[in-house]
Amino acid sequence: MGIFQKLFKQTFIYGMATVLPRMLSFLLVPLYTDQLPTEEYGKVSIIFSYFVLFNVLLAYGMETAFFRFFNKESNKEKVVSTSAISIAVSSFTFLVIALFLKEQIAIWTDIKLEYIYLAIWILLLDALVIIPFSWLRAKERPIRYAIIKITNVAINFGLNVFLLLYLKQLSFHFSFFNWICKDDYEISYIFISNLIASGFALLVLLPFYTKIKYRFDVILWKKMMKYGTPILVAGIAYSINETFDRILLDKLLPENVAEHMVGVYSACYKLALFMTLFATAFRLGIEPFFFNYAANKNAPETYARITKYFVILGSFIFLFVIVFVHLLKIAFLRDTSYWEAVKIVPFILLANFCLGIYHNLSVWYKVTDRTKFGAYISVFGAIITLVLNFLLIPEYTYVGSAMATLAAYGTMMLLSWYLGRKYYPIPYDLKKIGMYLGLSIGFSAISFYIFDSNYMISIPLLLVFLVILYASEKKELKQLLKR
């Protein structure tokens, strides 16, 4: 199988494992926005923002270090056992400390204690499957990976629907359900669903822990930690870029409007999920490929082509979502009170597009073991996020947060490209990349800001973009389709 065929096959399967679960999660948005007032949805969004940060802390770069050393070391069993033991010990240490400090955490975050308790157990379960899932990816078993991921989220989705929509009705007819049906318990039901789904994933992956040889190599672990620590720093910075806008909106806006603003912002943020899904699926597919192909003499040229394909597909997705954004808001945001924040969608879409390009460009510091540069770039992006949010939120509320996100990811993308030219030159086709990106942004701006996504204008613009794309890439497209 050719390099690109194998890459796209794995990307497709990982994409299914990412897109389908997140699409199921996306389908929860109509449920949440229908069942929860904007303020309550704001509370849920704030809690999930903390989830992102703690997931990064509990992984502490070990996932990426696992891939690097699994491909680098001859004794792969030693890499598997050392990383698994490390994650297991740190996860249970977190559990003990978090349970001991749960009251203080609730006070500090201003989150109800019952939600904190559920969150602690979810974070533990999610941490314990990090290495088993990484092992499946490293062993190139994407189908098993996809089945577990999809089933996990299907359980979460099904329980959400049952508990939020049908439980109360069933309790009127069957006394059996009375013991789990409680008033004003919607947010807890959301996290209970998550907890059960995470428990399922760990249960299915438990054989991994029974089959590995428990040998902890201290020297190897130190090397992995040295490699992974910059990834951890970059991850913390990423969590700040990705989720701290909700937390800062909650802290910086007046108390009587803060949760409402967080709720409408978070709901409309979800409309940019299509770009996130694409970028995440692509990253999951290419990350093991980047490491496996790094020793090939044609690696830089191959990386350049992959990035061009990413920009082509991303440009189309960006323009497509902008063209049909008003249909999407009607379909997924059932309560019209959420629609006020739809103006942030172009900013968030473009921001996530820039982030996806950044992940493609970041190959240079991963394959050359210069992960500290990834940390530097991400920290710089986080500083931009924090500074701009503090400056813009009081004046522009959630629009300021969206602008800050775009500024952060755009800067990170440009910095990675600039530094990569020095340490690992890759011959990117900047002319075509710039053309597709510029056309997509320009057509989107015309459609959204000038004609309010009027289909008489926006659909022809989308078709013109596709014609230009086909004319420019006709030869390569025919070759890929033929293969």
Contacts of 403 (CB under 8 A, 6+ apart): 347, 388, 392, 396
What is the C-alpha to C-alpha distance for residues 415 and 440, in angstroms, rounded to an integer? Answer: 22
What is the C-alpha to C-alpha distance for residues 225 and 87, in angstroms, rounded to an integer? Answer: 11
In this structure, what is the dihedral angle of CA atoms 390, 414, 17, 294, given to the nearest 10 degrees? -140
What is the C-alpha to C-alpha distance for residues 314 and 465, in angstroms, rounded to an integer? Answer: 13
Enter the DSSP assignment of 111: -
What is the pTM assigned to this prediction?
Answer: 0.80
- pLDDT recorded at residue 381: 93
Measuring CA to CA, how many Å separate 204 from each of 77, 194, 200, 209, 307? 21, 16, 6, 11, 35
What is the C-alpha to C-alpha distance for residues 13 and 143, in angstroms, rounded to an integer? Answer: 7
| Residue from 202, 145, 212 nearest 10 by CA | 145
- Tokens, residue 413: 């993308």
147 burial class (0-12, 13-18, 19+ CB within 10 angstroms)? Answer: middle
What is the C-alpha to C-alpha distance for residues 240 and 184, in angstroms, rounded to an integer? Answer: 31
Concatenated DSSP letters for 279-301? HHHHHHHHHHHHHHHTTSTTHHH
- Measured at the alpha carbon of residue 409, what is the angle toward residues 356 and 277, in degrees to the nearest 5? 30
Three-state secondary structure call for residue 176: helix
Helices 255-269, 28-35: crossing angle, 10 deg rounding: 160
Measuring CA to CA, how many Å separate 105 from each of 53, 89, 96, 99? 14, 22, 13, 10
In this structure, what is the dihedral angle of CA atoms 249, 253, 258, 264, given to the nearest 10 degrees? -60
- pLDDT recorded at residue 315: 94
Exposure on the CB side of residue 233, measured as CA atoms within 13 A: 18
Beta strand extents in 358-473 (DSSP E only): none
- pLDDT recorded at residue 30: 84
* Element housing 108 (H / E): helix 102-109
- Tokens, residue 187: 């947010």
Concatenated DSSP letters for 187-244? HHHHHHHHHHHHHHHHHHHHHHHHHS-----HHHHHHHHHHHHHHHHHHHHHHHHHHH
Q: Compute φ and ψ for 214, nearest 5 degrees.
A: -80, 85
User: 309-334, pLDDT tens digit by residue?
Assistant: 899 999 999 999 999 998 888 888 87
- Tokens, residue 436: 């597709």
What is the C-alpha to C-alpha distance for residues 443 and 462, in angstroms, rounded to an integer? Answer: 8
Enter the DSSP assignment of 73: -
- pLDDT recorded at residue 1: 46
- pLDDT recorded at residue 4: 55
Give residue for tokens 């720093």.
Answer: 233
Helix and strand tally (H, E) in the chain? 21, 0
- Tokens, residue 82: 């050392």
What is the C-alpha to C-alpha distance for residues 414 and 155, in angstroms, rounded to an integer? Answer: 40
- Tokens, residue 37: 């007032």
Quick check: 275 and 353 in contact, CB under 8 A?
yes
Measuring CA to CA, how many Å separate 3 from each of 176, 200, 306, 335, 450? 56, 35, 11, 47, 43
Long-range contacts of 464-472 (CB under 8 A, 24+ apart): 465/315, 465/316, 465/319, 465/439, 465/440, 466/316, 468/439, 469/312, 469/315, 469/316, 469/436, 472/432, 472/435
- Measured at the alpha carbon of residue 301, what is the angle toward residues 295 and 305, in degrees to the nearest 5? 120
What is the C-alpha to C-alpha distance for residues 142 and 285, in angstroms, rounded to an integer? Answer: 9
Amino acid at 10: Q
- pLDDT recorded at residue 418: 92
Q: Please list the ranges in the chain whose pLDDT falls under 50.
A: 1
